[in-house]
Structure 1
Amino acid sequence: MKIYLLAASLVLALFISPLQAEQKKVLGPWDVHYIAFDSTIIDAKIAQSYQLQRSKYQAVLNISVLNSKDQKAQQVRISGTATDLTQKQIELSFREVKEGEAIYYLAQVPVHDQKHLKFKLDIWQGTENQKLEFSQMFYTE
């Protein structure tokens, strides 16, 4: 039941704003899907079960890595930072979530109105290492 509620919350995030639409990058052998969105759109019970703080001042990053050939979820390690315009860096801490055959990685980052963040992530599995970079503006008002 949890997977369906979380999936519904994430689908809702896709329609909230074009600025929050899921994106994909092909990195080496992987299709990396990523989205950053306001944590308040997640149902309170779902947020609690995934230990996510719901607040308009907390964003959620959701990263999933699929094999480009067969689209199977990949178990990887992810680390990275979010940097604001003043060059303040925030270390991101990702948690792996497995539900059935789906694997995704969640992290939270503090935000405020009109906060622009540049994300730099390292994704690796064995000897394969790829870098994902993207930026996003967050709105809280």
Structure 2
Amino acid sequence: MKHIIISILTALLVVVGVSDVKAEQSKRLGPWEVHYNAFNSTLLRPEMAKQYQLSRSETLATLNISVLDATAAGKPAQQVEISGYVMNPLSQQQTLEFNEVIEGDAIYYLAQTRFSNLETLRFFITIKQGNQTQELRFHKEFWSN
């Protein structure tokens, strides 16, 4: 199962032609292994953006998150409630609107947000499933192409 998620994320990076961007990152949060990646939307090929109903712009970032059950053999993908916001260096917040994508056994969540050139954004993502709630926090610098 994990290989399916990693394959999808790798395929996404290959399809968008990202050679200078790090592959997805992951964090263990409670019972989950959360994989995440944020990149400039211009790295998406037009046909891929259309397929996932994403916009392409020099000042638009795309966020991709998948949640795996780290306690189970095969680490199956998890369907979760996901919400969050992004904060710029001036502490201005923008709510993230996630779209769930299910492709076979893979489940992942996509969102987009605006940025200014050479701006570091801080992401605050809340992941819920039943009584379990975890928060993913990370930051990333973006630049216009």
Do both proteins adopt the same fold according to a TM-score greater than 0.5, normalized to the shorter chain?
yes
Match of 1:84 in 2: 88
The alignment partner of 2:42 has SS state of helix
Q: TM-score when scaled to structure 1?
A: 0.88
* Distance verdict in 2 for CA 1:39–1:9, change over 3 Å: same
Q: TM-score when scaled to structure 2?
A: 0.86
Between the aligned partners of 1:104 and 1:72, the Cα distance in structure 2 is 12
Q: How many angstroms does 1:122 deviate by? A: 0.4
* Superposed CA RMSD: 2.1
Between the aligned partners of 2:8 and 2:49, the Cα distance in structure 1 is 10
Unaligned stretches of 5+ residues in structure 2: 1-6
The alignment partner of 2:57 has SS state of coil
Q: How do 1:11-50 residues align onto structure 2 when only pairs under 5 Å count?
A: 11=14, 15-18=18-21, 20-50=22-52
Match of 1:106 in 2: 110
> Which one-letter code corresponds to 1:43 in the other structure?
R
The alignment partner of 2:58 has SS state of coil
Which structure 1 residue ranges, 4+ long, deviate > 6 Å from structure 2? none
Q: What percentage of aligned pairs have identical amino acids?
A: 45
Match of 1:8 in 2: 11
Unaligned stretches of 5+ residues in structure 1: none
CA contact (8 A) 2:102 2:108 kept: yes
Aligned residues: 137
Q: How many angstroms does 1:127 deviate by? A: 0.7
Quick one: which of 75, 78, 85 aligns to 1:74?
78
Between the aligned partners of 1:109 and 1:22, the Cα distance in structure 2 is 18
Between the aligned partners of 1:79 and 1:88, the Cα distance in structure 2 is 17
CA contact (8 A) 1:6 1:42 kept: no
